[in-house]
Amino acid sequence: MIRIGTAGWSVHARYSGSFPATGTHLERYASVIGAVEINSSFYRSHQRSTYERWASSTPEGFRFAVKVPKTATHENRLKATDAILGRFLEEVSGLGEKLGPLLVQLPPSLAFEEATAATFFSDLRQRHQGQVACEPRHASWYEGDADMLLAAHRIARVAADPPAGSPSAAEPGGWSGLVYLRLHGTPRVYYSDYGDATLDAVARRLAVRVTDAETWCVFDNTAAFAALGNALSLKGKIAECGPSRAGA
């Protein structure tokens, strides 16, 4: 299964013709695109009832990835996160079966410290058995010990564009049971639109993967509204590459 989505579900006017004319932004988005990444959870908490409402607004096969709060990753830097994780996981449980991967994005300044990382991911795994992806952005996370620790805790390492911290950041790592791509925009991060040649290459890369792992491809180049158009284009291109595994 290949799940294509964007960071957030706003339907900009330039793409409105590809979506139903009525309904909330989420309802319109989810009728065409099969997955989304919730980034607002990184900045603030949402009530469980809010997640329940979002889940009830989407089709059966739709899935939400949810970003872990920055209080855990950037402010506490993976330490003393028990209360933060407990509250967050209780809230996102409102998504029920529509909860996809949790995304743990780390600050560029956070180097790999085995004891700290092991404690954090062990605690997370004791509380949550679902999919988890981690996007580190410090070079030390792309060495053997870090990769083995992620794999041992069933944490997929994000493949990012542009790669941050190391050229290895462009390729997935950690646990092989999930592949998670985050495309932030190149050359201008969060702004640049991906052209046809790049999207063709991404489509081929995804379509030819010989793996049973679920694959997510999330466009985070939202600042100039390029993400949704890129997701729509990539979905069509994957279908052209052969029998489609792309989510609706």
8 compared with 144, residue with greater pLDDT: 8
Whether pLDDT at 243 is above 80 = no
Whether pLDDT at 248 is above 50 = no
Whole-number Å distance between alpha carbons of 232 and 229: 5
Q: What are phi and psi of 247, to 5 degrees?
A: -65, 155
* Confidence category of residue 211, pLDDT binned at 50, 70, 90: low
Q: What is the pLDDT of residues 23-79, one digit of tens each?
A: 999 999 999 999 999 999 999 999 999 999 999 999 999 999 999 999 999 999 999
Q: Is the pTM of this model over 0.75?
A: yes
